[in-house]
Structures are given as C-alpha cells and as structure tokens.
Structure 1
Amino acid sequence: MSRFAIPLLRIALAITICGSVLVQLLALPIYIGEVVAMHPEASTLATPYRWVVTLGIACIQVSLVAIWALLNKVQKQEIFSGQALPWVDTFIWSTTTTSLLVMALGFHLLNAVKAGGPGVVLAVAGGAVIMATLALLMLVMRGLLVSATKLDAQSSMPA
C-alpha cells in the first residue's frame, strides 16, 4: 500500500467527520427552521425528523470511526487478526442502520405525510441504495478477511 494512502485517507476521514458534526449542529437546525418557516403545517414533524436525520448522521460517523480503526490495523499489519472483525461488523451494522433510517424517513414522508415528489423518491432511493451497497460490500470483504485470517494462521503454524 502506498505510504501516502493511509495519511490521505485519515485526512479525508477527519474532514468528513468534522463536516458531519457541523451539519448536525449548524446546517440541519438552520435548514429545518427554513422549512418550518415556509411550511408551518410541517412544524410537528421538525423535531422527530431532526432526530432521525441526526441519528443517521451519527451512524455514518460510527462507520467512519470503524474505517479509522481498520486503517490502524492495516498500518500496524494486524488486519489479519480476529480483532479486526468487530470493526468490520460495526461498519456493516451502522451502514445498514443508516440505510433503514433513510428508507423509513422517506416512506413516512411520501406515504404518511404525502409530501415530496420525484426528487424525494430519488434522494431516498439513492441514499438507501448507496448505504446498503456499502454494507453488502463490507459483508463480502468480511468474508475475505475471515478467509485471509485463516490462511495467515495456517501459514504461520510450524510444520
């Protein structure tokens, strides 16, 4: 692996985590305030929707922390150990949870509230598919990691 890849990925992860915290603390409340000002009838949904979106962002942050921990394992050449699997599982569950939250919020918005249109459908579908794809990709990678860990253990056993 390139000696620049891990530091660059860490920089990207740090920027993404900081940006997501700013979205949670600043941008989301401002956006919700603007939506409520334009559509006062939606004011009862502001708080529950804010919590669902905040929880979804928190799940993404957990995924980013899991990637950071896996990077540490790669850098220390400890990735082929059983200690990496909990971080992989954390990534899988947090991205799966994010996908489910996106679908639930979209379903409620489109069916229960009867708000939104094609743009909302595309955003919900896109968000859910992207997060589900990441979870499934990591599930496949988990299987590869388990196989590689077994091979590594077998190759290090004395004959």
Structure 2
Amino acid sequence: MTRIERVVVPLRVLLVLGFAGLVVAQTFSLPGQFRYMAEQNPDLGPVPWLLLAFAVLEVLCIQVVIVCTWRLLTLVRADRIFSDESFGWVDGIVWALVVGWVLLAGVSAFIVGVIYFTPELRDPGTPMLLFGLVLIGGVVVLTVVVLRALLRQAAVLRADMEDVI
C-alpha cells in the first residue's frame, strides 16, 4: 500500500459515512424536526418550512463537496490531479461552498433582523453565533479559492517540468 493509499482509503470511508448520514438527515431527521416545530408553534406560520428548505439546501451543498472530493481523490490515485479535469471538480467545491455561504449569510441576516426588531428576543448570543458562522464560512470559501490558485500554479509548474524532461 502506497503512502497516498493510507490516506485515500480511510478518507473515502469517512466520505461515504458522512454522505450516508447526510442523506438520513435530509430524508428523516430534518423534515421530522421542522414538522414538530411547526406543530408545536403554529404561530410561526411558514417559517419552519422555510428553515427546512434552507437546511436541505445547505446539506445538498455539503453533499456536492463530498462528491467532488471523491472525484478528486480518484484523480490523486491516478496521478492526474494536476490535469484540467481536476479544476472542474475544484470549481464544483468552490461553487457549492459559495452557495452555502450566501444562503447562510442571507438567513442569518434575516434572523438577526427579526431578533433586532423583536424586543423580547434581543439576546446577543444568537446574532454573535450567526456572525461567527458566517465569518468562518467566508474564511473557508476564500481558503478553498486560494488552494485552487495553488493547484493551478502547481499544474503549470508540472507541465513545464514535463516539457523540460
């Protein structure tokens, strides 16, 4: 077993387990939780169902990242990670993260607005938590964009080295 196989195989096992857990969450846990919320708080109107849509879309973004990561691992094993094919999968990860981040920022802004304009809900903890999550999400998105640029540079350098050799 090569050095890379020692990392790729366990990572693939974890990706499969994570993907399966997300499918279970999407189909059973999240709908059940938000249905229960709607039943217990009928005065919320459509809010639980909007939050369900948000949660399912966020999970879908994570699933896209998992699938793209799986494909990149296939390219790593085949020693083709520096090919043009890999950039499509990395772009898939970037766009999934951007969509997830924009959704999170939008829902967070809405929730903070509701809290701000509802005097009995003015607990500073929730807005601070949401701001922190949006900040961390932005850092993750920008880090992946930088890693994509590094992959591009490495691909160019590898192509140059292959031309020399």
Return the TM-score normalized by structure 2: 0.86
CA–CA separation in structure 1 for the residues paired with 2:124 and 2:11:
35
State the Cα distance separating 1:158 from its structure 2 match. Answer: 4.6
CA RMSD of aligned residues (A): 2.0
- The answer for the alignment partner of 1:150 in structure 2 is 156
1:78-131: CA deviation from partner (whole Å, max 9, x where unpaired): 001111111111101111111111111122223147568445334423432333
State the Cα distance separating 1:36 from its structure 2 match. Answer: 1.8
Instruction: Name stretches of at least 5 consecutive residues in structure 2 with no aligned partner.
Output: none
Please list, as runs of the form range in 1=range in 2, the aligned pairs for 1:53-132 lying within 5 A after superposition: 53-112=55-114, 114=118, 117-132=123-138
Gap change, CA 1:13 and 1:95, over 3 Å in 2: same
Aligned length: 159
CA–CA separation in structure 2 for the residues paired with 1:37 and 1:93:
35
CA–CA separation in structure 2 for the residues paired with 1:25 and 1:117:
32
CA–CA separation in structure 1 for the residues paired with 2:83 and 2:122:
47
1:127-146: CA deviation from partner (whole Å, max 9, x where unpaired): 32333222211111111111
SS at match of 2:45: helix
Check conservation: 1:24, 1:57, Cα contact below 8 A.
yes
Of the three residues 36, 43, 46, the one matched with 1:44 is 46
Return the TM-score normalized by structure 1: 0.89
CA–CA separation in structure 2 for the residues paired with 1:14 and 1:94:
18
State the Cα distance separating 1:18 from its structure 2 match. Answer: 0.8
Instruction: Name stretches of at least 5 consecutive residues in structure 1 with no aligned partner.
Output: none
CA–CA separation in structure 1 for the residues paired with 2:154 and 2:113:
45
